[in-house]
Amino acid sequence: MKKKRIAFFDFACCEGCQLSVLQLDEKLLDLLDHVEVAAWREVMTGESDQYDVAFCEGSITRETDIHRIQNIRQTADIVVSLGSCASIGCHNALKNRWPTKKALEIVYGEQAKHFDSIPARPITAVVDVDYQVLGCPVSLTEFEAVFKCILTGQAYDPPNEPVCVECKRNDYLCVFEKGQICLGPVTRCGCNAICTAFGEPCHGCRGLLDQPNLEAAATVLTADHLHKIMDAVAHQYQLTREEVLDKFSLYNNWPELTFEEDDTHDT
């Protein structure tokens, strides 16, 4: 069978996902044995516009980005959104809280007129993608799994289970026990709870579940008294509903996060 030709492309982002992929080290070489690399700016010079699989990281933030991603979509048989910028908008979508003009002024001041910008959106909002790899940066386990699915022609659905599942399977201490606020219960797993592994809360970088119970989060996090595991949180933080939304939208502001859009049990 002819080897698939793969390419990597970047849009608005820190390019950390591509860099992470390189950290697969020897395993990456083993995986690349099955393919030919047509374009990958971070590791090689020269690029070909003949490719079958396009790994695209970053968000769409300019009109020109739209044309470029549409072009890639037309060329490639398989398009993969690589990482949370490309899949769910990630931090980039935070700028959508301001009018675009205002956001440009905040960042570029007087030079703002030289830049073109549109509200940030993930690649998935502009073209259909065949596979998604989530995470800021991507989970390498998931990248590998997706890569193998592409090679063997299998579908891959991002897990629709919360981080808590992996946290518990690893017997990590729930950070709520230490009075921290964790987004694990509403965030898609697949990172093997890497943050809670180090005693840090989950900030939600892999995106919200299909049906995150944000109302439950608001009830819990705004309460003034709860059971043992949560009491420190209730006492120290006493969040308002707006502050809850603030916390939850860090990676998840596309589309803009509101309580009304939440699906609760009646879906």
Partner 1 sequence: MQSFVLSSEQLNVLFETLMAKMPMMGPKQRSDQPGFYHFDWLKSPGELVLHYTTTTIPPKKAFFPPVETMFSFKLGDPPELTHIIEDTPFVLAGVHPCDLAAIKALDDAYSVPPADKRWLANRRRAIIIGSDCLPDEYCFCTSMNTADARLPCDLFLTPIDRGWLCEVHTDAGKNVLKNIQKDTAQKKDIEDASQWRLQKAEKISTKLNINFEAFAKILEAGGLTPIWKEIADRCYSCGSCNTTCPTCFCFNKYDEFDTTLTSGIRKRVWDSCQLPEFAMVAGEHNFRGERWERVKHRWHRKFLYLFRQFKRPYCTGCGRCSRACTADINMADVINQLAAASEKERSHA
Contacts to partner 1 by CB under 8 A: 27, 30-31, 33-34, 145, 148, 151-152, 160-162, 164-165, 168-171, 173-174, 176-178, 182, 184-186, 199, 209-213, 215-217, 219-220, 223, 226-230, 264-267
Q: How far apart are CA 130 and CA 126, in angstroms?
A: 13
Looking at residue 112, the DSSP 8-state letter turns out to be G
With CB under 5 to 8 Å by kind, the binding choice for 74 among partner 1, ligand SF4, none is none
The gap from C-alpha 100 to its chain's centroid, in whole angstroms, comes to 22
Closer residue to ligand SF4 (CB): 68 or 168: 168
With CB under 5 to 8 Å by kind, the binding choice for 206 among partner 1, ligand SF4, none is ligand SF4
Provide the minimum distance between the beta carbon of 56 and ligand SF4 in the complex, in angstroms, as a whole number.
Answer: 20
Provide the minimum distance between the beta carbon of 2 and partner 1 in the complex, in angstroms, as a whole number.
Answer: 16
Q: How far apart are CA 50 and CA 181, in angstroms?
A: 47
CA distances from 172 to 169, 176, 198, 207, 211 (A): 8, 11, 9, 21, 24
Closer residue to partner 1 (CB): 5 or 95: 5
Sign of CA dihedral 186, 187, 188, 189: negative
Q: How far apart are CA 120 and CA 152, in angstroms?
A: 33
Residues contributing to the site for ligand SF4 (CB under 6 A): 135, 163-164, 167-168, 174-176, 182, 184-185, 187, 191, 193-196, 202-206
